[in-house]
Amino acid sequence: MSQLLASYVVQAAAALFTAVLFGFFSRTYRKPFLLHWARGFSALCIMLFGAGLTISLAPIAPPTTITRVTVSTVTLIAAYYHVAWLIFGSAEVFSADYADWLYRRRGWIFAAATVVAIASMAYAFSDPDPFGPRFTARNAIRSAIIGAAYIAATISVVISRKPGRHVGRVFVGTSFGLYGATQLHFFWVGMVSRSTISQTNYPLYTGILDFVLVFTMGLGVVIWLLEEEHSRAQSTTQEIASLAYHDPLTGLPNRKLLLDHLTRAIYQARRDKCDLAVYFIDVDRFKVINDSLGHPAGDKVLRAVAARVTAALREADTMARMGGDEFVVFTPDIHGVEDAVHVAQKVRDAIRDPIQIEGRELFVSASMGVAMYPADGQTAEALVKNADTAMYRAKAQGNDLMQLYTPEMNAHAAEQLALESALRRAVEAFEFELHYQPIVQTSDNRICAMESMLRWRHPVLGLVRPEQFIRLAESTGLIVPIGEWALRTGCLQMAEWRASGYADLRLAVNISGRQLRQPDFVDTVRVALAETGLPPSALDLEITEMSATQSEPVIVERLRALHAMGVRISIDDFGTGFSSVSILRDFPVDALKIDTSFVRDLILDPNDADVAAAVVALAKAMALTVVAEGVENPAQLEFLRAQGCELWQGYLCCPPVQASEVRAVLGRRSGGALKRLPTPSEISTVRH
């Protein structure tokens, strides 16, 4: 008996230790299961202490005394509450939802535990035999229930384990399992061979085993928590590292990681004496895609480009996103420029496949610049910079092109910088002039309007065409004062021509998107008309389809105001933008100008002929005038005439000419029509 007493006391101490440990950790780690188990082990401690007390009271007080009854009741209630808390904690480990469901029914569960405790207490409580039916009801069944609860707890610990190290869980799971097994064994012994308990050292051994197991549970939970902490810290570190070195949208390496990898690849290439190519890729017209189709579509395009290019590359190649619509690829271990060009073509083909966005097909292209190691740079930074420079050159020549780096390109960049300061000077020194190109009626070859074309008379470079400086003027904002000057000068000039006998001649002026964004744009136009005396109906504003696509509602409002005044609006370069039809719906448009690129190959390329025909048909359906630009030969003119295109413009009539030559051009008319069209040889001599 004294053995049994000692074993209960020791076990109670272990349970107390574990309860305190769990309680302490539940505060620090805020894990609900620890709090439940802390309560559970407190209850276990009370149960074991009560069992010990019963044993010491047994020789001096019969089971029916009030002290024995009280002690036994408390012991049994503690035993079943212990089970309840153990289950709450295990449910919490298994699933928070399930635990919540159970915990909301805790009133019923504790009531049931109390009823079972009191019932087993009451059963045969006056029987004098300590190993009689009372033993079965109080001890054996209790052990069976506790054993089952521990087995369930073991299962929840095993099932809920996550990837990573789980030595702690193994400790806890194993000790729960073994503890459950000892309880079930005790149930079996209690039912079948009660003599084992009284006649052998069974209570001593099981007591020591239980003590060890309860202690192990505490230890296991400590290890478990430390492991969780460790793996959380590890995954946070990984996440931070991935954020710092990867682009979240595409998952590609970012600039930092790229430069790092590239530097290592350069060392390798230097050792192996082989070539390496760096490709700078920039998605064409990405801003238009973003502005007209929305940012989610833009994101989709970027992800598609990233995925396709990556798929087209070899394992050893690296692709990174530099930001915006810019990507860099490098391919180590290649042989010569031919290989690089081959890869570039593969990349281009991968990007070119149409991308499905909201049910429609989007054709995306990219411009690419290529720099080679060792020829074009020795460091990662230099190679990327030179590939970037080459990409800029590709872009300047048109979309969807590839350009290999050449050392002169850096000279070009320096040139651009010089050009910028020269342009600023030019605004102050009034170095600009306007040339004029006739717009001709298809029906009778009458010149009905003149389009003003900006020229920069540079003191050293001579006459500079807009393509060499308009983009720069737009990006620096200089286009605003320049454009204002062009508008006034054009209006003044046209008023003069109209006064001198060409009363119905009209003026077309190119307007940059940047000008439209000026809040006082409407006033600028109004003032220019008022001061020069040109009626609004004699003015035509040409807005490129590209800047029309990018217009916010406030700009459309401005155009409406001008339109209401009688000013006409044309969409320039039509066919090069994206959301053509929606522009036509929202914009106050009078005319569409079919872009030169479609007119150029009209006769050679059936696709271009189809586009031109479709634009004419579309415009007719919407009661808009169609102007064909860049008409260079009679065949083109014939085709356009047959389609029903009303107006045309191009070298076939004449190139843009100086203001002083305009009268001569207009004078070529007899009875308003052109006397004769120039011959092809004349056309080639007038090209700048």
- The yes or no reply on residue 545 touching Ca ion (CB under 5 A) is no
- The yes or no reply on residue 510 touching Ca ion (CB under 5 A) is yes
Burial class of residue 570, CB neighbours in 10 A (0-12, 13-18, 19+): buried
Q: Which of 76, 469, 630, 640 binds ligand C2E (CB under 6 A)?
A: 630
Which among 436, 446, 435 is positioned nearest to 647, based on CA atoms? 446
Shortest distance, position 437 Cβ to Ca ion, whole Å: 9
Which 8-state DSSP code applies to residue 128?
Answer: -
- Per-residue contact track with ligand C2E, 436 to 455, x per CB under 6 A? -x--------------xxx-
Shortest distance, position 244 Cβ to ligand C2E, whole Å: 43
- Per-residue contact track with Ca ion, 552 to 591, x per CB under 5 A? --------------------xx------------------
- The yes or no reply on residue 512 touching ligand C2E (CB under 6 A) is yes
- The yes or no reply on residue 656 touching ligand C2E (CB under 6 A) is yes
Shortest distance, position 453 Cβ to ligand C2E, whole Å: 4
Shortest distance, position 465 Cβ to ligand C2E, whole Å: 4
Q: Which of 139, 442, 510, 550 binds ligand C2E (CB under 6 A)?
A: 510
Among ligand C2E, Ca ion, none, residue 650 binds (CB under 5-8 Å by kind): ligand C2E
Angle at 234 between CA 232 and CA 236, to 5 degrees: 70
Two tokens, residue 348: 């281009």
Nearer to Ca ion, 85 or 521 (CB): 521
Among ligand C2E, Ca ion, none, residue 632 binds (CB under 5-8 Å by kind): ligand C2E
Two tokens, residue 301: 């395009």
Which residue minimizes CB distance to ligand C2E?
Answer: 650
341-to-204, 330, 338, 365, 539 alpha-carbon distances in Å: 84, 12, 5, 17, 49
- The yes or no reply on residue 545 touching ligand C2E (CB under 6 A) is no
- The yes or no reply on residue 615 touching ligand C2E (CB under 6 A) is no
Distance CA 55, CA 237 (A): 56
Helix axes 66-94, 96-104, angle to 10 degrees: 150
Shortest distance, position 623 Cβ to ligand C2E, whole Å: 23
Distance CA 598, CA 149 (A): 81
The answer to whether residues 316 and 332 touch, using CB atoms and an 8 Å cutoff, is: yes
Shortest distance, position 293 Cβ to Ca ion, whole Å: 23
Distance CA 587, CA 389 (A): 37
Q: What is the 3-state secondary structure (H, E, C) of 333-359?
A: EECHHHHHHHHHHHHHHHHHCCEEECC
- The yes or no reply on residue 484 touching Ca ion (CB under 5 A) is no
- The yes or no reply on residue 575 touching ligand C2E (CB under 6 A) is no
- The yes or no reply on residue 547 touching ligand C2E (CB under 6 A) is no
Q: Maximum CA pair distance of the chain?
A: 141
Task: Give yes or no for a cis peptide into 438 (omega within 30° of 0).
Answer: no
Shortest distance, position 411 Cβ to Ca ion, whole Å: 30
Nearer to Ca ion, 160 or 596 (CB): 596
- The yes or no reply on residue 465 touching ligand C2E (CB under 6 A) is yes
Task: Name the phi and psi angles at 655, rounded to 5.
Answer: -75, 175
Among ligand C2E, Ca ion, none, residue 175 binds (CB under 5-8 Å by kind): none
572-to-271, 358, 516, 590 alpha-carbon distances in Å: 55, 28, 14, 11
Q: Which of 291, 325, 608, 632 binds ligand C2E (CB under 6 A)?
A: 632
Site of interaction with ligand C2E (CB under 6 A): 437, 452-454, 465-467, 470, 479, 483, 486, 510-512, 542, 572-573, 596, 629-632, 649-651, 655-656
